[in-house]
Amino acid sequence: MSFKEPSSTQIFFTVAIGHTFGSFFWKNYVKSLNLSGNEKILEYGSGSGALSRHIAPILLKGGGSLTCVDVSQKWMSTIQKRVNNYPNVEFELGTIFDLDIPDNSYDAVVIHYVLHDIDSNLREEIVRALSRKLKKGGKVYIREPLADNHGMQSAEIRELMIKAGLNEINFKINNVRLVGESTEAVFEK
């Protein structure tokens, strides 16, 4: 699977913006998911932890847990430094195919600006694999940019989720601060 490790500059700016000024916006998005707190959640492509750091405390309070998965060694070491004080968070390096995660075991999968970065011919297989990890009734929360030069079409997201056996619960297009027009959707197994 081809992917590019981030440069030190990219890591620096992602953390500098995403974990400070951007934090407000990511926190609001997490709030909008209305998590109960007791869920077992898998965040796929967790990056620097910009979102994970807001999910983790909600789950800590409610008895839930978070698995942060990322294929990049550099993003993994960044998140491990930034989201390091939660006993309910675990980190897994690799793609969903590399990891020994049982099927039907998660209440939710969060995909936050990740799929568009993955080769289009690999997306279907990845979404199917993520769907298998969900319990019946489990949810996928997805947000992806719509920009032509760095994004993906809403219709493709719908198609991938339906092919993976997921039903649409909520689907909208929002103008997200710092990113621009984005598809924001929830699907259920």
Ligand X SMILES: C[S@@+](CC[C@H](N)C(=O)[O-])C[C@H]1O[C@@H](n2cnc3c(N)ncnc32)[C@H](O)[C@@H]1O
Q: Give the pair of three-digit tokens for residue 114.
A: 């990740």
Asked whether position 47 contacts ligand X by CB under 6 A, the answer is yes
- The DSSP bridge partners found for residue 90 are 67
Answer for which of 15, 54, 67, 72 binds ligand X (CB under 6 A) is: 72
Of the candidate spans 83-91, 109-117, 153-161, 176-184, the one that interacts with ligand X by CB under 6 A turns out to be: 109-117
Single-letter amino acid, residue 101:
I
Asked whether position 29 contacts ligand X by CB under 6 A, the answer is no
Q: Among all chains, which residue has been given the structure tokens 């080769």?
A: 119
Distance CA 144, CA 112 (A): 7
Answer for which of 75, 91, 141, 187 binds ligand X (CB under 6 A) is: 75
Distance CA 177, CA 175 (A): 7
Shortest Å distance, C-beta 156 to ligand X:
16
Of the candidate spans 47-55, 57-65, 83-91, 134-142, the one that interacts with ligand X by CB under 6 A turns out to be: 47-55
Closest-CB residue for ligand X? 47
Q: Of 169, 163, 109, nearest to 141 (Cα)?
A: 109
Answer for which of 46, 67, 131, 182 binds ligand X (CB under 6 A) is: 46
CB atoms within 10 A of CB 170: 11
55 or 166: whose CB is closer to ligand X? 55
Among positive and negative, which fits the CA dihedral 35, 51, 148, 73?
negative
Q: Please report, as ranges, the residues that interact with ligand X according to CB under 6 A.
A: 1, 3, 18, 44-48, 50-51, 69-72, 75, 95, 112-114, 117-118
